Structure 1
Amino acid sequence: MFTLFNEELNRFARDTLRAHREFEAGKWTSERLAAHQLDQLRDVLRYTRDNSPFYGERLAGLSDERIGRFALGDLGDLPFTTKDDLRQNMLGTASQPVTDSWVFYETTGTTGPATPCPRNNVDSIVNNTVLSLCYDTVLRRHDGPHLVAVMGPTELHSTGDTFGDVFRNLGHTVAKMWPHSPVVGYRRALQLLREMPFTGLVCTPGMAMALAKEARRAGLDPRRDLSVSFLLLVGELLTPALAANIGSLWDATAYNSMYASQEASILAAVRDDELLHTAPLNVCYEVIDPNSGTPVQAGPDGAVQGELVITHLYRGSKPLIRYRTGDMVVMRPAGTGASYPSPLLRPLGRVRDRLTLNGNTVHAFDLEQLVLGRLTGCQGYQVVIDRIEGVDTLTVLLETADFADRSGTGTGALRADLMERFGTPAEIRFTDDLGAITTTGAMVSWKAARIHDRRTAEPEAERLAALAIAGQREVR
C-alpha cells in the first residue's frame, strides 16, 4: 500500500510486476534479457561508483565512457566483493544513507561481526515480486484459504517482513511466531497450531524437525492433530532426502523454498515443480572455481558447478558487485519446455563446509542426501568423524519419530553406500535426543550443526558458537 503514497514508486512497482509476469509467460527472448541485464548492470555500476564509499574507490577507474562500452562479458575484469569486504567497510559499502532505507536488518553475527543490510523500497519491490509470483504457483497446489505460521526471527531479520508482504500480496493470512522467543515459546506455538486452521509453516529445516519432536512430547501427532499441508523451508541446506523426511513428520509437502541471504537477498525461489529458479531480471550470476576464482566451464548438459558469484541489477540500498557468496552450487539451464524460463540452481553447501574424507572432497549436499536417502521419519541427524589408525571413520547418529522403522533395515546398505562413495567405514546409531545443536544450522552453519569432527584437537570456532546457542535453546 505504501506505493500509493509515492507516484514514482507506484509506477516502478507496476512496471516491475509487468516485466516479471511477461518473463514468467515466456515472452522474453534471450536477446531482450541480455539487453535488460546489460542496461541494468551499467546503471548499477554508475550508481555504486558515485554513491558507495567502498565502490567509489573500488570502481574509480570506470569512467562514464568505459561504463557505456561495458559488456556482460567484462564482468570478470572487475574485482570480487567478499564477506571480509562487507565486514571491514560496514555501511561504507551502501549506496544510500541508511535513513533513505525503509528498514534496517543485519546478519546474525554468530561467526563474525554482524554486517548491516538496509533495504529500500526498490529492494523489497523487486525481490518480493519474484517470490510472490513463484509462491503463487506453489500455494495453488494446496487447498486454501491459507493461514501460514512464519517461524523465524523478527528482530533485525527479514524473514517475518518478507513472508508477511508476499503472503499479503497473494491474499493469504500470516501469524509471525518465533518458538525461540520468550514471548512465544514452543508451548504457545503448538497451542496456536492446534487451535487455528494453519495450512502452512515457514521455518528452517531444523525448526520443522524440532517442532515436530516437541509436538510429540506434548502428546500431539503433527500428521493427525494439525492441519499443516505444506512447509516452506528456508535458511539451511535442504536436500531432497531431508525434505522427504520432514514431510513424513508432518504428512505434508516440504519445499526448499528459496536460496537467499540477508546480504544478497533473493537469488532463487521455488515454483510448483519443486525446483529453485533463478531471478535473472534482478541478478547476474557467475559460477567460479572457489580456489582459483576463474570461471567454471559448462559440462555437456550446460550445467556448471562451483562457487556462486552474484551482481545485483537494481538500485537497492546496498547493491553488490561480483559478490562471492561462499556457497557451492550447481546451476543448469531450465531446458526446453520448462514452465519457467530461468536457470535452475541447487545449493551444495558452503565452500568452507566441504569435508575431506580419506582423500575425497565431500560436499554437504552429497553427505546429507546419502545419509537420509533410505530413511523416513528422521527428526535429526549428526555425523561424528574420527581418524583411527590412519583411516577416517564415521558414526552416524539418527533421531527418528516413533513411527519410523528402527529395526536396522537399510543401515547395512547405508554403511555400504558410505564406504563405496566416500571410502569411510561407518557405524549407524539411533538415539532418542541429539540435543539442540542440530537446530543451529541457520544461525551458524550446516557443518557446525551436523558434523562433529574429532580429528582436530581443538573444536572449530563455529562449533563452539553452535554449542553456545544450543545451550540456550535446551531450556524449555
Structure 2
Amino acid sequence: MYTIFHPEQDALVRDLLAKHTDFERGAWTAERLHDHQRAELRATLSFVVGNAPFYRSHLRQLTSADIDAFELSDLSRLPFTTKDDLRDNLLDLLSRPVTDGWVFYETTGTTGRATPCPRDNTDSGTNNMALTVNYRDVLRAHPGRHLIAVMGPTELHSTGDTFGDVFRNLGHPVAKMWPHSPVVGFRRALELLGDLHVTGLVCTPAMAMSLAKQARDLGLSARDDFDLNFIMVVGELATPALLANIESLWSATAYNCMYASQESSILAAVRADGRLRTIPLSVVYEVIDPDSGNLAEPRADGSMLGELVITHLYRGCKPLIRYRTGDLVRLTPPAGAADYPSHTLQPLGRVRDTVLVDREPISAFDLEQTVLTHVRRCVGYQIVIDGEDGTDRLTVRLECLDPDAVDEPALRAEVRRRFGVEPVVSLEDIGGIAGTGALVSWKASRVHDRRVPDDVERRAALAIAGRRDAR
C-alpha cells in the first residue's frame, strides 16, 4: 500500500527489480556493469560532497570537473572513511537530514560511541531488493509457505524491519520475537516455535545454539519437537563447521544469510548454494592490505584476501566512500558463465580479531573452523589462550548436548596440525558470554586471551552476560 501514496518509490523498486532480474540471469555484460558503476559512483560523489559536511571537508580536493571525469580506477586515490570518522562526526556524515528518512537506527554502542544509521526509502528499497531477489533463490530449495521467526533486537536496530519486509515481499509471514526481551523470554519463544509450527528461523548463530540448550533444559528436543526447515543466521562469523553444528542441533538447513552491518547495510546475500554473493549494482568493493592500506594483489585463482573497503553507489541518508569495514574477507570471482555473476564473499572475521598462536597470526575463521570441525551438537564454545615463557597453551571449552558429540582425538590432532600447539579439551558449561558476540564481537564471546591484561571488549561481553543471567 505504501507505494500508492509514494509513486516515486514504486518507480524506484520496479527499476531495481528489473535490473537485479537481468543481472541474475546473466544479461549484464562486463561493460554494462562498468558503465553502471562509473555513472553511479560519479553521482554519489557529487551527492556526498554537496550534502554531507564531513565529506565536503574530507573530499575537498575533488572539483566538479574531477567528479565528472572520475573513473573507477581513480577510487584508490581517495582517502578512506574509518570507524573513527563515523564516531567523531556522527550526524555530519549524513547526506540527508534524519527527517528525510523513514526510520532511525544506530549501532549498539557497547564498546564505543553509538553512531546514527537512518534509512530513507532509497536505502531500504536498494538493500531489501537485493535480499529479496537472492532469498527467492534460497526458498526455491524449500518450497511451500513458511512462517518465519525473526529473533533480533528491535530497538534502534534494523533486523526485524528488514527481514519482515523481505519475507513479506516473498509471500511469507514473520513472527518477530526477541528471546532476551523481558516481554518474550526463551520459554515463550520456544512455545511459539512449536505451537505455530514455525518452519524458518532468522537469528544469530549463538541464538540458534542457545535455543537448543534452552529446549533441552525444558525437556524438549530441538531435532524432534520442532518443525524448522531452514535457519538463516546473521550478525556473527559463521564458518562451515559452525553451520554444520547448527544443522546437527536442529536437523534443519543452516545458511549464513548475509554479510552486513548497521553502518554499511547489505554487502552480500546468500544464494541457494549457501555462498554469499556481492551486490555490485549498489556497492563497489575493494580489498586492501590492512597494514599498508594498499590494494591487495589478486592470487592465482583471481581471489583477493584482505580487509574489505566499500563504496555505496546509491544516494540514501548516509552513503559511505571507501569505508574500511575492519573485516577480513576473501573475494572470489564467479567460477564460470553458469555461476551467479558476482564475486563470492567469505567473511574471515575482524582484522583485530586475529590472534597470535605460537607466533603465527590466526584469523577468527581459522580458529572457529578448526575447533568445530570435529564437534557436533555444541551449544557453546570458547577458546582460552595462555602464554608462559614464550609458549602458548590453548584450551578448547565445549558445551554439547551429547557427551559423545566430540571426536576429541581428531580435534586435538586438527589443532596440533593447524596451530602447532597441544590443546586441552574441556567439556563444561560455558555460561552466557558465548551469546554476546553480535552485541560486542566474535572474539569477546569466543576467545579468552589471558595474555591480554585488560580486554575491554571481554569486560563488556561479561557485563552483558551478567545482566542476562540476572533475569
What's the TM-score, normalizing by structure 1? 0.98
1:206-285 equivalence runs, <5 A: 206-285=206-285
Deviates more, 1:367-376 or 1:236-245: 367-376
CA distance in 2 between counterparts of 1:355 and 1:390 reads 15
1:89-238 equivalence runs, <5 A: 89-238=89-238
Matching residue of 2:460: 465
CA distance in 1 between counterparts of 2:64 and 2:454 reads 50
CA distance in 2 between counterparts of 1:337 and 1:63 reads 40
Matching residue of 1:450: 446
CA distance in 2 between counterparts of 1:246 and 1:168 reads 26
CA distance in 2 between counterparts of 1:175 and 1:449 reads 27
What SS does the aligned partner of 2:154 have? coil
Give the Å deviation of 1:423.
1.7
Give the Å deviation of 1:25.
0.8
CA distance in 2 between counterparts of 1:452 and 1:281 reads 40
Matching residue of 2:289: 289
Letter in 2 for 1:276: L
CA contact (8 A) 1:392 1:425 kept: no
Matching residue of 2:60: 60
For residues 356-410 of structure 1, the C-alpha deviation after alignment (integer angstroms, 9 at most, x for no partner) is 11110000000100110111111111011011332001010011113x525x6x3
CA distance in 2 between counterparts of 1:339 and 1:361 reads 33
CA distance in 2 between counterparts of 1:424 and 1:312 reads 43
- Structure 1 residue 437 and structure 2 residue 433: aligned? yes
Give the Å deviation of 1:472.
1.2
CA distance in 2 between counterparts of 1:453 and 1:12 reads 49
What number of residue pairs does the alignment pair up? 471
- Structure 1 residue 421 and structure 2 residue 412: aligned? no
CA distance in 2 between counterparts of 1:134 and 1:475 reads 40
CA contact (8 A) 1:384 1:453 kept: yes
CA distance in 2 between counterparts of 1:168 and 1:352 reads 37
Letter in 1 for 2:438: A
What SS does the aligned partner of 1:117 have? coil
Give the Å deviation of 1:339.
3.5
What SS does the aligned partner of 1:135 have? helix
Give the Å deviation of 1:217.
0.5
CA distance in 1 between counterparts of 2:96 and 2:267 reads 22
CA distance in 2 between counterparts of 1:250 and 1:338 reads 32
Aligned-residue RMSD, C-alpha? 1.0
CA distance in 1 between counterparts of 2:438 and 2:314 reads 27
CA distance in 1 between counterparts of 2:455 and 2:142 reads 43
Letter in 2 for 1:249: L
Letter in 2 for 1:257: C
Give the Å deviation of 1:2.
1.7
What SS does the aligned partner of 2:374 have? coil
Structure 1 stretches of 4+ with a deviation exceeding 6 A read none
What SS does the aligned partner of 1:287 have? strand
CA distance in 2 between counterparts of 1:172 and 1:414 reads 40
- Structure 1 residue 405 and structure 2 residue 404: aligned? yes
Matching residue of 1:69: 69
Give the Å deviation of 1:436.
0.6
CA distance in 2 between counterparts of 1:277 and 1:37 reads 17
CA distance in 2 between counterparts of 1:338 and 1:132 reads 21
Matching residue of 2:385: 385
Aligned-pair identity in percent equals 60
What's the TM-score, normalizing by structure 2? 0.99
Letter in 1 for 2:94: A
CA contact (8 A) 1:448 1:466 kept: yes
Q: Compared with structure 1, are the counterparts of its residues 188 and 287 closer, same or farther at alpha carbon in structure 2 (3 Å cutoff)?
A: same
